[in-house]
């Protein structure tokens, strides 16, 4: 999974690099032709006529580059195969709303928390309730190779009491370190990793 995340990151930037190279080549060709035309045809009238032809040819070249660029499959339109692929296309707030929707379909009542006047939600993105229990939920929309550690588990456990929650859920589109799983043992917290989120998307995502 970590390898796929790195490949997707590289692929997305390769497409941008490819477009940059195509445009750079076109600019280099135009600058070179300008230099050659000034040397070969010092007459202003002749230069204008030739530059008109060059301009038209440049438009065709630019059109070709754009068409070629569109044929390349952009990173953000590749088929969705993982939870990270799905949630990575959403803004942080939209991702939280989607998680709320999934929790609601699972039988919870859930809502996104409001930010304080300082722009902080104290580490809790969603408040959910079920069977008389209040659950503080935090969403970590991280790349697959960026694992959530024990520190994040500790911080959510600390934030849980600010919301008077009975337990908490830490969700991530990545996975957790061994230390994070160890930290979660015998604590009122559930760790939902990408694999589990994928199963929820298949069952409740539509």
User: Is the pLDDT higher at 138 or at 70?
Assistant: 138
pLDDT for position 3: 44
Helices 194-204 and 92-105 cross at an angle (nearest 10°) of 60
Ramachandran area for residue 26 (φ above 0: left; ψ -120 to 50: alpha; else beta): alpha
Domain boundary assignment for the chain: 2-77, 83-204
183 confidence band (pLDDT: 50, 70, 90): very high
The rounded percent of the chain whose pLDDT value lies above 90 is 31
Residue 47 to residues 27, 38, 50, Cα–Cα distance (Å): 18, 7, 5
Per-residue pLDDT tens for 186-198? 999 999 999 999 8
- Token readout for 132 is 């008389």
173, HSE (Cβ side, Cα atoms, 13 Å): 22
Question: Using only C-alpha atoms, what is the Rg of the chain?
Answer: 26
CATH code for residues 83-204: 3.40.1350.10
pLDDT for position 12: 53
Q: Identify which of 35-49, 115-129, 162-176 has the greatest average pLDDT.
A: 162-176
pLDDT of 102 above 80: yes
The kind and range of the H/E element at 51 are helix 44-71
Q: Is 177 helix (H, G, I), strand (E, B) or coil?
A: coil
145 confidence band (pLDDT: 50, 70, 90): confident
CB atoms within 10 A of CB 7: 10
- pTM higher than 0.75, yes or no? no
Distance of CA 136 to the CA centre of its chain: 24
pLDDT for position 42: 65
């Amino acid at each position: 999974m970590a390898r796929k995340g790195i490949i997707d990151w590289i692929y997305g930037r390769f497409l941008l690099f490819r477009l940059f190279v195509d445009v750079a080549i076109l600019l280099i060709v135009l600058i070179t032709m300008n230099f050659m035309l000034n040397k070969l045809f010092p007459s202003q009238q002749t230069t204008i006529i030739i530059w008109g032809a060059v301009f038209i040819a440049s438009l065709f070249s630019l059109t070709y580059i754009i068409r070629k660029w569109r044929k390349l499959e952009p990173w953000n339109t590749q088929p969705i195969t993982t939870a990270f692929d799905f949630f990575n296309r959403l803004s942080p707030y939209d991702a939280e709303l989607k998680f709320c929707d999934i929790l609601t379909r699972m039988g919870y009542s859930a809502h996104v928390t409001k930010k304080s006047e300082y722009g902080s939600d104290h580490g809790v993105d969603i408040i959910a309730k079920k069977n008389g229990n209040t659950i503080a939920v935090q969403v970590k929309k991280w790349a697959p190779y960026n694992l959530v550690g024990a520190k994040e588990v500790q911080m959510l456990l600390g934030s849980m009491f600010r919301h008077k929650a009975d337990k908490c859920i830490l969700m991530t589109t990545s996975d957790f370190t061994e230390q994070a799983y160890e930290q979660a043992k015998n604590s009122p917290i559930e760790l939902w990793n990408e694999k589990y989120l994928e199963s929820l998307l298949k069952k409740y995502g539509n």
